[in-house]
């Protein structure tokens, strides 16, 4: 990759990252369609003079040393302290990315705390002790050094108490409990970001995880999603990610700085719901892709599943939140994450095994056997999406989402994944641009 795109090299990275940020923001703020392609273009044409495009306001980014605690009074306050809540496969990689940046950037404290759900390993040792001693998460990310400045902490309250930047990255089913425990325990000026894929369905309707965090803790929460299979980023293979934020450019700039490395390119998009729904819904598409693999149906079929899946993701997101932008689906969190998850992710893998077993072994069983403590999201998300669809009378509009759930619970055979079109869904609503207004 680096040979083709010289700007990815580490020596020129700071220019590149600043410039990506500066050049993409005005486009996003002007809500132009297909901003990803416009904002990406300069990356592939290094000769164009990027700064000319920037608005004067964004062309003078504030100095790193003065950006602290997000105070906008220009006063130098203390450096930002980051805590990562969660330490699974992706949580550990996120801690590694962040820890490499806090060492380099003045506006952050070097130390990164990582809350670890304590467990005792087969050797009899505590996981936190081993992480502290070896700088390695031997259970969820073996063989990768996290950085000496990552401190494992089994005490949730203690891990968050000094932080003003919280990175949430646990499997989604644990977040409600974690939020309850954190009420009143976090700093008043804390900002959060969620890397969590999944949602909770309540009586009132679907609740996204960032929203759960915001509401329970009374804090702002951005999201980071993308085509990010953790093990590939752990060995520093190039990838991209999308940060979805609500309205505060200063805060999103901090998040972009905290995560960006020469091999991890982060783009901000002003669409929290769109970015988060992409990250959540793509796991349902991945289950469908796994069925197709298990049934050995070939590459055309898989591509069709990805396309139909992406369309349903977009339609579902826009029906739930009218603010969701079409352009978000062309970012890393959209089409790119659908592709990588359908090719390589764990949801795909377990769904393939499910189909190969003719649906006779349950997902719980296969998850326990195949994932060594890692969690699947797609099956529970499919159930949650199905609840929303049936509750709102939208089942016919989303044949792929609905069929995935019915296969997962054994109501339909895996082969039904390519038969749903025969139900003649009322696709007109999905096609009709008016429903997106």
Ligand X SMILES: *[C@@H]1O[C@H](CO)[C@@H](O)[C@H](O)[C@H]1NC(C)=O
CB of 138 to ligand X, least distance (A): 14
CB of 67 to ligand NAD, least distance (A): 27
Listing DSSP states for 289-345 in one string gives HHHHHHTT--HHHHHHHHHHHHHHHHHHHHHH-TT--GGGGGSIIIIIHHHHHHHH-
CB of 10 to ligand X, least distance (A): 29
Measured from the CB atom, is 42 or 88 closer to ligand NAD?
Answer: 88
Measured from the CB atom, is 87 or 164 closer to ligand NAD?
Answer: 87
x/- map, 376-415, ligand NAD, by CB under 6 A:
-x--------------------------------------
Partner whose binding site includes residue 172, from ligand NAD, ligand X, none (CB under 5 to 8 Å by kind): ligand NAD
296 sits in the region (left: phi over 0; alpha: psi -120 to 50; else beta) called left
* Residue 375 binds ligand NAD, judged by CB under 6 A: yes
The question of whether 104 is a catalytic residue gets the answer no
* Residue 299 binds ligand X, judged by CB under 6 A: yes
Q: Which of 81, 282, 318, 349 is catalytic?
A: 282
| Residues binding ligand NAD: number (CB under 6 A) | 23
Partner whose binding site includes residue 219, from ligand X, ligand NAD, none (CB under 5 to 8 Å by kind): ligand X
Listing DSSP states for 239-291 in one string gives EEEEEE-SS-HHHHHHHHHHH-BTTEEEEEES-HHHHHHHHHHHHHHHHHHHH
Considering only 36, 42, 86, 274, the residue that binds ligand NAD (CB under 6 A) is: 86
261-283: buried (b, 16+ CB within 10 Å) or exposed (e) per residue? Answer: bbbbbbbbbbbbbbbbbbbbbbb
CB of 120 to ligand X, least distance (A): 12
Considering only 19, 140, 245, 354, the residue that binds ligand NAD (CB under 6 A) is: 140
Write out the H or E segment, with its range, that includes residue 374. Answer: none
C-alpha 417/C-alpha 415 separation (Å) is: 5
Cβ atoms 144, 106 nearer than 8 A = no
Nearest Cα residue to 342 out of 280, 293, 395, 380:
293
10 Å CB burial of residue 354 (0-12, 13-18, 19+) is buried
Give CA 369 to chain center in angstroms: 25
Partner whose binding site includes residue 354, from ligand X, ligand NAD, none (CB under 5 to 8 Å by kind): none
Q: How far is CA 286 from CA 14, 224, 307, 357, in A?
A: 35, 19, 12, 18
* Residue 110 binds ligand X, judged by CB under 6 A: no
Which range of residues in 53-61, 150-158, 355-363, 408-416 is near ligand X by CB under 6 A? 150-158
* Residue 347 binds ligand NAD, judged by CB under 6 A: no
CB of 374 to ligand NAD, least distance (A): 4
Residues 237-256 that bind ligand X (CB under 6 A): 247-248
Considering only 99, 130, 229, 305, the residue that binds ligand NAD (CB under 6 A) is: 229
* Residue 195 binds ligand NAD, judged by CB under 6 A: yes
Cβ atoms 342, 354 nearer than 8 A = no
Place of tokens 């009899």: 124
The residues facing 151 across adjacent strands are: 113
Write out the H or E segment, with its range, that includes residue 378. Answer: helix 378-392
Residues 113-132 that bind ligand X (CB under 6 A): 128-129, 132
Which range of residues in 14-22, 77-85, 217-225, 390-398 is near ligand X by CB under 6 A? 217-225
Q: How many CB atoms lie within 10 A of CB 228?
A: 24
CB of 195 to ligand NAD, least distance (A): 5
From the DSSP assignment, how many helices (H) and strands (E) are in the chain?
Answer: 18, 10
10 Å CB burial of residue 364 (0-12, 13-18, 19+) is exposed
The count of residues in the chain is 437
* Residue 26 binds ligand X, judged by CB under 6 A: no
Measured from the CB atom, is 129 or 176 closer to ligand X?
Answer: 129
Partner whose binding site includes residue 86, from ligand NAD, ligand X, none (CB under 5 to 8 Å by kind): ligand NAD
Considering only 97, 186, 190, 196, the residue that binds ligand NAD (CB under 6 A) is: 196
Residues 377-436 that bind ligand X (CB under 6 A): none
Alpha helices in 45-144 (DSSP H): 56-59, 89-104, 127-134
Q: Which residues are catalytic?
A: 282
Name the site residues for ligand NAD (rule: CB under 6 A): 86-91, 117, 140, 169-172, 174, 195-198, 228-230, 374-375, 377
| Residue ranges that bind ligand X, judged by CB under 6 A | 128-129, 132, 151-152, 154, 218-220, 247-248, 296, 298-299
């Amino acid at each position: 990759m680096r040979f083709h795109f010289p700007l990815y090299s580490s020596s020129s990275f700071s220019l590149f990252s600043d410039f990506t940020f500066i050049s993409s923001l005005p486009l996003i703020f002007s809500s132009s369609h297909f901003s990803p392609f416009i904002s990406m273009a300069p990356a592939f044409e290094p000769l164009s003079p990027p700064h000319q495009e920037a608005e004067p306001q964004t062309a003078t980014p504030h100095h790193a040393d003065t950006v602290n605690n997000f105070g906008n009074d220009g006063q130098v306050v203390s450096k930002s302290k980051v805590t990562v809540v969660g330490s699974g496969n992706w949580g550990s990689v996120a801690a590694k990315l962040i820890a490499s940046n806090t060492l380099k950037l003045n506006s952050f404290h070097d130390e990164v705390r990582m809350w670890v759900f304590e467990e005792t390993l087969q050797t009899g040792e505590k996981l936190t002790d081993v992480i502290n001693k070896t700088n390695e998460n031997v259970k969820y990310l073996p063989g990768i050094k996290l950085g000496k400045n990552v401190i494992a902490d089994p005490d949730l309250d203690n891990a968050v108490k000094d932080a003003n930047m919280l990175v949430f990255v646990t499997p989604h089913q644990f977040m409600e409990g974690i939020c309850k425990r954190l009420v009143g325990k976090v700093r008043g000026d804390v900002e959060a970001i969620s890397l969590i894929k999944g949602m909770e369905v309540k009586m009132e309707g679907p609740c996204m995880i960032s929203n759960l965090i915001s509401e329970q803790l009374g804090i702002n929460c951005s999201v980071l999603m993308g085509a990010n299979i953790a093990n590939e980023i752990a060995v520093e293979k190039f990838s991209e990610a999308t940060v979805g934020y609500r309205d505060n450019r200063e805060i999103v700039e901090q998040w972009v700085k905290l995560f960006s490395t020469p091999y991890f390119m982060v783009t901000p998009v002003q669409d929290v719901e769109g970015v988060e729904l992409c990250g959540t819904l793509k796991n349902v598409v991945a289950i469908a892709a796994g069925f197709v693999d298990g049934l050995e149906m070939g590459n055309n079929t898989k591509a069709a599943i990805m396309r139909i899946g992406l369309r349903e993701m977009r339609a579902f997101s826009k029906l739930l939140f009218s603010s969701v932008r079409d352009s978000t689906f062309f970012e890393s969190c959209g089409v790119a994450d659908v592709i990588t998850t359908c090719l390589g992710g764990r949801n795909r893998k377990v769904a393939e095994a499910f189909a190969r077993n003719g649906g006779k072994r349950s997902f719980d069983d296969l998850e326990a056997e195949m994932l060594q403590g890692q969690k699947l999201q797609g099956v529970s998300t499919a159930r949650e999406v199905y609840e929303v669809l049936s509750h709102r009378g939208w089942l016919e509009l989303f044949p792929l989402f609905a069929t995935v759930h019915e296969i997962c619970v054994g109501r339909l055979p895996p082969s039904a994944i390519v038969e749903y079109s025969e139900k003649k869904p009322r696709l007109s609503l999905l096609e009709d641009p008016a429903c997106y207004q």
